[in-house]
Amino acid sequence: MRLLRWFIGLLIIAAFLYGDFFIYQGIILYKLINVILFCAFFILYRVLRGPTAADRIVALDILGILIIGMLALLGLVYDQSFFMDIGLIWVLLSFIASLAFAKILEGRYLDD
- What single string gives the DSSP state of each residue in 4-55? HHHHHHHHHHHHHHHIIIII--S-HHHHHHHHHHHHHHHHHHHHHH-SSHHH
Q: What is the pTM of this model?
A: 0.81
Average confidence score pLDDT of the chain: 89
Q: What is the pLDDT of residues 74-112, one digit of tens each?
A: 999 999 989 999 999 999 998 898 888 888 888 877 666
- CA dist list (Å): 86 to 52, 57, 73, 82: 30, 21, 12, 6
- What single string gives the DSSP state of each residue in 74-98? HHHHHT-SHHHHHHHHHHHHHHHHH
- Give me the amino acid identity at 9: G
